[in-house]
Chains A and B, each alone.
Chain A
Amino acid sequence: MKILAVCGVGQGSSLILKMNVQQAVDEMGLDAEVENTDVSSAKMEEVDLIVASGFHEGTLKEALSPVVIVKDFMNVEEIKKQIQEFLDQKGG
């Protein structure tokens, strides 16, 4: 699957998020490619999942891809939990 890690600028916070999303999916044994970008570009991208901060939830309402919100960009456990919930919902 393809995942986008998103922040306002697309280079700072989102890069940190990307590293931790990558770690999360690796630990979950998912075959996923993670990239980082800014919130405006992410809105227009068709990917399997967007991971973002709650502050961008509003902007991402019109996103073409599903979105999960992460509060602590450095908490791999939280990221894993959010991705798992998304996968469970999608499956069920």
Chain B
Amino acid sequence: MPVIVTKGLTKHYGTTTALSEVDLEIDEGTIFGFLGANGAGKTTLIRLLLGLIRPTAGKAWVLGKEVCLTNPELRRKIGYLPGELRLYEDMRGSQVLRFLGRFYGLKDTVIRDHLIETLELPPSALRTPVKKYSRGMKQKLGIIQAFQHDPDLLILDEPTEGLDPLIQRRFYEVLRDWRERGKTIFMSSHNLGEVERVCERVGIIRQGRLVADERIEDLQAKLVHHVEVVLEQPAGDGIFDIPGVDVVFSNGQRAELKVRGDLNPLLSTLARTNVSDLSVQRASLEDIFLEFYREESARCSTPT
């Protein structure tokens, strides 16, 4: 069953298009990574899904209900961690968790207590006003408040910002546990390694448009491959002059190549030579991400 569905979701701010005709469908039990540069539209989409802003066009459904500004019950089963988290600074950590938990009538603190332990938020910190918290401690508190009422859908905007690597790993385990429990997680991140590690599906947004929405392995297979080839004898300069193939390095005998799209034209060329060694690697998510943005930056830097 899809937990998030958007159809033609569009948001304009005056003449600026923040989001343009986004169609998305995310199934239950998925960890969905949402990638994009600053200002690409990630937070706009999250705000639309939460009913904090109105779409200019299109519609969104979350947990089977249409999102609108005046349907607060929709948010009962959602846990939300805002990006650039701000909390009531004069409250103590425990007061923040109790205050936010009361909106859900929360009495059972098993999840809260478990996460406090897992994320190593010390009991003394819970008795301290939030204004004295470090960035990482605030983020831990933000994560706990998002999870504490056992939501079916978690919307996390840059969840590991400010967390140290050890706590980040523990947080990834928490995400995997929640997925195994059938929960759906929609997370935006700048940390491509993190998305690659924990998400099975990824969406890439550029200038408000969803330019990719696929399983990570499919994207990797489809888009860019790193190829390293060693020939038995030096070849001429033009051997790798093949559409979609970029030469990263070549000394005539050994070459490092980046292949966009189909590998077969390169393999056909290599079949006509004597190859002593060949390795083909799928691109990292970072390569894929940069690939989607490369075209845009090239267009921007071209004088007209």
Q: Are A and B bound to each other?
A: no
Residues of A within 8 A of B (CB): none
Residues of B within 8 A of A (CB): none
